[in-house]
Amino acid sequence: MSFPYLRPRRLRKNLYLRDLVAETRVSPRDFIFPIFVKEGISEPEPINSMPGQYRWPVEKVTKIVSDALELGVRNVLIFGIPSYKDELGSSAYSKDGVVQRAVKKIRKEFGDEVVIHTDVCLCHYTTHGHCGLLTRKCVGDFCRDVIDNDSTIELLGKVAVTHAEAGADVVAPSSMMDGMVRTIRKALDEAGFTDVAIMSYAAKYASAFYGPFREAADNAPQKGDRRTYQMDPRNGEEAIKEVALDVEEGADILMVKPALAYLDVIRRVREAFPHYPLAAYNVSGEYSMVKVAAANGLVDEKKIILEILHAIKRAGANVIITYHALEAAQWLKEGLDRELF
């Protein structure tokens, strides 16, 4: 008798056998493609920090949406870059704000062929670049600038309603304010949008992986950082607390962000909340690191991107928000997931 007699390699013998027993399959139907829409431009503008991505004028946004649909990517997430900013982020809830106009245009052009998600936050719209309203708080003689949680969530409710009025299917609050999901749910319901879903950035970390996005969307805080609202990267258990609150407040889809350095968090949330759709945001830094490494010939671009997307799904996410969506959809169509693994 020969030894060993247990040989896992038997199932790795060839392409089609490996494909048969592969545990994870990624499809364009898993993807949400983020799209930046900017006021005051007439042509798509390349984003230097994110090779291959563009800021789109409202007038031409249907072009990129139609590219996505053609590749089978039916879900898009709209981020706005307004030309007017103020302390209160008022263009975030203006009826003819950049996101509101883009959503209307996309809906009019494609009807129910596309699912429209919108980012609900103030950071792109405030002069100070924070995700909430700033107030000065004094205790005795000591004063500091703080983000005022409760007035912020009221405004986020207003933002969400204007997105729903424009035709959004899903609103995605990303500010990490306490109670934001409940306030938004209440505002939507009171305005009659009981059918608009909430995808909550439930466990969003204060991450350096957002670096390239801040150039893309011009939303960097002018002073300070986001550590008083986004989570500490050292914490994993706390993610369960954050997610539990959003579930209780009425979130329909949960999200962990970023994805790659947080695959353990994705797995924990998946196990703690097995009955909820779970999204993972494959963020700008994760995207750009791969693009730059590939452009320098250091990694095999297609293979590494498909590996990343499969890893996110294997960790437990069933929805992947990714800037790679269109190229990956094309590669999947060509069967590269099978050819490369």
Binding site: what residues are annotated? 121, 123, 131, 214, 226, 242, 284, 323
If the CB atoms of residues 200 and 284 are measured against ligand PBG, the closer one turns out to be 284
Residue span binding ligand PBG (CB under 6 A) among the ranges 116-124, 147-155, 264-272, 290-298:
116-124
DSSP code, position 226: S
3-state secondary structure of 174: coil
Residue span binding ligand PBG (CB under 6 A) among the ranges 40-48, 94-102, 178-186, 213-221:
213-221
**Is 257 in the active site?**
yes
CA dihedral for 191, 192, 197, 203, sign (positive or negative)? positive
- By CB under 6 A, is residue 177 in contact with ligand PBG? no
Q: Are 287 and 32 in contact (CB under 8 A)?
A: no
**Cis bond before residue 34 (omega within 30° of 0):** no
Minimal distance, residue 84 CB to ligand PBG, in Å: 18
Radius of gyration of the chain (CA): 21
Residue span binding ligand PBG (CB under 6 A) among the ranges 24-32, 89-97, 119-127, 293-301:
119-127
Q: Record the tokens describing residue 148, joined without a space.
A: 């005022």
Beta-carbon count within 10 A of 315 CB: 22
Among 58, 101, 110, 119, binds ligand PBG (CB under 6 A): 119
Among 106, 123, 153, 243, binds ligand PBG (CB under 6 A): 123
**Sequence-distant contacts of 222-225: CB under 8 A, at least 24 apart:** 222/127, 222/128, 222/129, 223/128, 223/145, 224/130, 224/145
- Residue 233 CA to residue 256 CA, distance in Å, equals 12
Q: Record the tokens describing residue 303, joined without a space.
A: 């293979």
Q: Are 78 and 116 in contact (CB under 8 A)?
A: yes
Q: Which of 85, 105, 257, 291 is catalytic?
A: 257
If the CB atoms of residues 214 and 267 are measured against ligand PBG, the closer one turns out to be 214
- List alpha helices for the chain, DSSP H: 15-21, 61-70, 98-110, 149-166, 180-190, 211-217, 237-249, 263-272, 284-295, 301-315, 325-333, 336-340
Among 36, 125, 210, 273, binds ligand PBG (CB under 6 A): 210
Minimal distance, residue 284 CB to ligand PBG, in Å: 3
Q: Write the binding mask 132 to 171 for ligand PBG: x where contact by CB under 6 A, - elsewhere.
A: ----------------------------------------
Give residue 158's identity as a one-letter amino acid code: K
Annotated binding site for 5-aminolevulinate: 214, 226, 284, 323
Minimal distance, residue 300 CB to ligand PBG, in Å: 23
Among 33, 54, 110, 213, binds ligand PBG (CB under 6 A): 213
Q: Record the tokens describing residue 207, joined without a space.
A: 């991450």
CA dihedral for 92, 93, 94, 97, sign (positive or negative)? positive
Residue span binding ligand PBG (CB under 6 A) among the ranges 60-68, 108-116, 158-166, 212-220:
212-220
- By CB under 6 A, is residue 219 in contact with ligand PBG? yes
**Is 204 in the active site?**
yes
- By CB under 6 A, is residue 174 in contact with ligand PBG? yes
If the CB atoms of residues 164 and 177 are measured against ligand PBG, the closer one turns out to be 177
- By CB under 6 A, is residue 32 in contact with ligand PBG? no
Supply the DSSP string of 92-119, one letter for each residue: GG-TTSHHHHHHHHHHHHHGGGSEEEEE
Q: Are 203 and 242 in contact (CB under 8 A)?
A: yes
Kindly list the catalytic residues.
204, 257
Please report, as ranges, the residues that interact with ligand PBG according to CB under 6 A.
Answer: 119, 121, 123, 131, 174-175, 210, 213-214, 219, 226, 283-284
